[in-house]
Chains A and B, each alone.
Chain A
Amino acid sequence: QVQLVESGGGLVKPGGSLRLSCAASGFTFSDYYMAWIRQVPGKGLEWISYMSSSGSTISYADSVKGRFTISRDNAKNTLYLQMNSLRADDAAMYYCAREAPGYGSGYYDYWGQGVLVTVSS
């Protein structure tokens, strides 16, 4: 069965860095577009980044552009999110999500359980 398991979250000081990982299993990872979506506890969902199956196409939300970097290792079936210059408003639950099959499908058929990022001094 499809599984997405995030890791790498934790407490970081403002201005610090974290690298999130999302280990995928149960499907051919290299065939799928993937995304990172975050949710401030008790609040709504915010799409922050997407990467095509080959890694050739990337997009970021304005709120993280220039600070966050998405990447993937198809040999390791893993998606990453490098987060630099973290701010208090980056504190959230971070989910990796699989985009449904088909170019530009745009919706997410599987989500990980999430990893919590706390930004505080």
Chain B
Amino acid sequence: EIVMTQSPATLSVSPGEVATLSCRASQTVSVNLAWYQQKPGQAPSLLVYGASSRATGVPARFSASGSGTEFTLTISRLQSEDVAIYYCQQYNDWPIVTFGPGTKVDLK
């Protein structure tokens, strides 16, 4: 099983600043990596797929990059509505997919 890790566990960022989230895979997943946002009390929603492609309707302040085992999600100009837990997910091992433990983003 491919194990996903995320860092940091919690990230406190001032409004308008940049948030940088990391995701690492225990073995290469190529670009078969998705990011999800889960706001309090809600289901996860797709942010990014293919390691760097924004899903429909996702604001341009969300950008993502990486390949192989190292991935990054960047939120530029953080807004209050971005407070959430962010999960990465590999699907290189489809249909067995695994998620990272999440990074909680809150406002400083």
Contacts and interface: CB of A to CB of B under 8 A. Distances in A.
Determine the main DSSP class of B at the interface with A: loop
Contact of A111 (B34, B43, B92, B101): B43
A57 B102 CA distance: 29
Interface residues of A, number: 21
A59 B95 contact: yes
Contacts of B44: 45, 95, 108, 111
Nearest to A110: B46
A100 interface: yes
A100 B49 contact: yes
Interface in A65-79: none
B89 interface: yes
A85 to B, nearest CB: 22
B91 A106 contact: yes
A106 B100 contact: no
Q: Which among A46, A107, A110, A111 has the highest number of chain B CB atoms within 10 Å?
A: A107
Contact of B99 (A45, A104, A111, A112): A45
B55 A44 contact: no
Given A44-B87, A44-B102, A45-B87, A106 B43 contact: no
A107 B36 CA distance: 10
A111 B45 contact: yes
B96 A104 contact: no
Interface of B: 32, 34, 36, 42-46, 49, 55, 87, 89, 91-92, 94-102
27 contacts: A44-B87, A45-B44, A45-B99, A45-B102, A47-B99, A50-B95, A57-B95, A95-B43, A100-B49, A104-B95, A106-B92, A106-B94, A106-B95, A106-B97, A107-B34, A107-B46, A107-B89, A107-B91, A108-B34, A108-B44, A108-B46, A109-B55, A111-B43, A111-B45, A112-B43, A113-B42, A114-B43
Nearest 9 CB-CB pairings of A with B? A106-B91, A107-B34, A106-B94, A111-B43, A45-B99, A59-B95, A50-B95, A44-B101, A107-B49
Given A44-B102, A100-B46, 16 more contacts: A44-B87, A44-B100, A44-B101, A45-B36, A50-B95, A57-B95, A59-B96, A95-B44, A100-B49, A105-B49, A105-B91, A106-B97, A108-B44, A109-B55, A111-B43, A114-B43
